[in-house]
Chains A and B, each alone.
Chain A
Amino acid sequence: MLPKRVKSIIVLSLIGSVTVMIVAYTSPSLSKEWTMKMKYALSVAAAAVLAIGWTGCGSDSNDSKSVKSITFAPLALSANDTEKQQMRVSSKMTVTYSDDSTEEYPLAYKTLAKMGDTIGSGTMGLMVDKNGNPLKKSDGSNDISDGPDGNSFIKVGGKYRLITHLEERPGQLMNTEINVENNELVPVETAPVDLAAVGGTIINCASSKTPYGSHLGGEEDYSLNTRYADKNSPFYVDCALDGSSTDVGGEFNYFCNYVDQQAKYLLDTNIDKNNGYNGDSFSPYNYGYIVEVQPQADGTTKSAKHYVTGKYTPELATMMPDQKTVYMSDDGTFKGLWKFVSDSKISGFEANWSGTLYAAKVNQTSAANGGAFDVSWIELGHSSDNDLKTMIESKMKLTDIFEIAAPGDGNSCDTGFKYIAEDSAGECLKLKTGMETAAAFLETRKYAAYKDATIEFRKEEGMTYDKDRNVLYISMSAVEKSMEDNYKGMEAVNDIHLPKESCGAVYELTLDENYSGTKMEAIVVGKTLADTDANAAEWYCDPEGISNPDNITYIGHNTVLISEDTTKHVNNMSWAYNTQTKTMTRVASLPIGAEVTGVDVATAGSKGMIFLNAQHPFKDNPKNRAGDKPNTALIENATQEQLKAFIGYIDGMPSKLFN
């Protein structure tokens, strides 16, 4: 924690210097009015310093009144190069109560940890194998992740724990114990979550919390599509399996990389290419699911991989208040939208979920403003985690479930085969007799497409539930490619045929009383700037709106936080969208080149916080409308310290807002 403390001192001393300079300027030669202004400014500065120190101020006096609304002070666009390099957040939150009284809470961003920090006996981001040993290279070096992602701040046994995703291959989750000292969060111990029992994990992306206090995260597995793993598939890739991430011809291949990396974690040297790349413990069928982790009072974790939510490229899952219905998103091109309904209420951590899996089928009713759709659900199958785990352990391969062939001209397939498009490719499939359940859960996207579900979503990212309106918000990072009209002539169904909007959109899924989605409609749409727009010289998407929405979090009080993962804005931002007034307020602006990840609303005692990480700062180089990179100089001059990803939170809100 030394780095954070040092940073605080720097901030304070900077304020100190400024104060001294203002005093120096308040000389007799200045007009009285100017002197007054300065005095006022000074008192404001002093108040601000005090407020920053005492974030708990004014927390209890209004407990009897209900909160009518919350607003963030709008954060201005970065005005200069200095601001573009900084982590900037809204200066205050104003809470308006039922009697129209208001209260203000100064806000500040606090860094909790940087990747590579030593925390207790652990190292934040240190990658390990299934035995917990560091994944060392042959030079003896340790591997430190720079990809912090989903966060869940959870209280258990009187202690606070932060579960943090590392978006890596192999994947990993960190379990960090956090104390509250002097009203600040102080990480005291960190360790990787032991996921050896479920065969490890991969590319852990966004996450959410269940109503009963566990962490639900997605394995955003892009490339362990089994069409590459089966020798009888025309898409088969013949990997070298020597740790080099290449095929036997020496060419880099994503699928081979994933296999090599997972094998390294599992210490599996016995992967059989003749049997669908199943090894002693590795199977391509073991990744692409929702992982649940629940921290325990003794510092250990309970964990499960919920196979029954289906295999695809899940960004995350969101559990509905009935604790039966769970929605999952699917990142990439030609992807689906998924719903799982548990057989019974999930009231606490359960390793073996059982229930029914559905895929969305949409009927486009409007193409305007990001589009609108009627939504129905195609039932794929019923199973349980345990049954599916047994199936995976039996070392299945794709052609045990489907026969697969490459499509001919005009998406033609041989008799008995059906043309589908999924995961950026067209395939001819023929379901094998009696393999419906295996298809539904292990080949979820293929099977859903086979049953004419809508597999046309593009970069479907965050999801969050709004309990006040009973709707689910879904961010679609970009409305393009498979969401356009019969993209590249590849689409089998063409349910979605929208005009391209590369800046993305956030959709609202209307839910019925059973939490089942019935309609979907864009509520916020990014805007690609016109070439002639004054902002186009520096921005690609309108800076007054969203660009490539990704993390999305309902924080209550009619407020959705929409966060970006974009190179089309100079700084990635987080926005507060008011679901009543339909207005957007800029809340955070990240250092240039960084993506917003790990947005999580949390409380600790009287503290209310919004967790928010900066992934890969100073690494992405934002582009303008013409595709040029006008801020290159800022990236070129980045310091080593600026390049470190960090985990942190917006501090200063009262916990009562989020309880």
Chain B
Amino acid sequence: MDLTLENITHRYDGLTVLEDVSLHIPAGEILCVIGPSGCGKSTLLRLIGGLERPSAGQILQRGTAPEGCLNPLTYVFQDFALLPWRTVEGNISLVLEDHGIRGAKADHIISDVLARTKLSDFRTALPRQLSGGMKQRVAIARALAVKPAVMLLDEPLSALDAQTRELLMEDMIGLWERQPFTGVYVTHNLAEAVRLGHRIAVLSRRPGRLCEVVKIDIPLTERRAGDARLEAVQAQLWDMMKQEAMAADQELLHV
């Protein structure tokens, strides 16, 4: 399923956070969105998934969702958003119950997504027993359970330490390789963006405008930490963002 953003502008009480953003998100590709803090990256993601309405402009979806898709636009949140009173399998069955999927059928889906995220041994654990990386894996498994057409990832690795982040990045590339999904990946971490993005959209400081879309031609599976080509792109992105980031930092002080 393709997504097209047409001239999206968004305001909160007169404060413009996004201005005239137009983007195309083709199926099967991961688009990373980066920008200085407060530039409206996360707002953009909420708009794409229909959790908020844009003040102006429209977001269009084209094409049909995959077979058996329960929730075409599915989020993975920065803070995992797991129900602490439900076990790992309970958290996944939560999103199936409303579609009337219970019993053996739900069991089958849960076993499948847990196997794909290497969580099969933790089926009955409670979230508080899991590390941050594991919790995010559960959230990813939950997202996979509804067979999404587009995954909306809101800084999914930002709450994790560097090593866990590296491991999860590899896992996500593995998941994409097995079954390419469309993804919008919001992050402030340039290293993540160059590892996971087919294209990288750079937003300016508030009000967020689209500065540039950088395309990276290296296949995801060939990207490694410390790859010189990726580092070159990362340096290029940082050059683009540095002034904006500094200005954004100053701006916050005056608010």
A pairs with B:
no
Give B contacts to A, CB under 8 Å: none
Give A contacts to B, CB under 8 Å: none
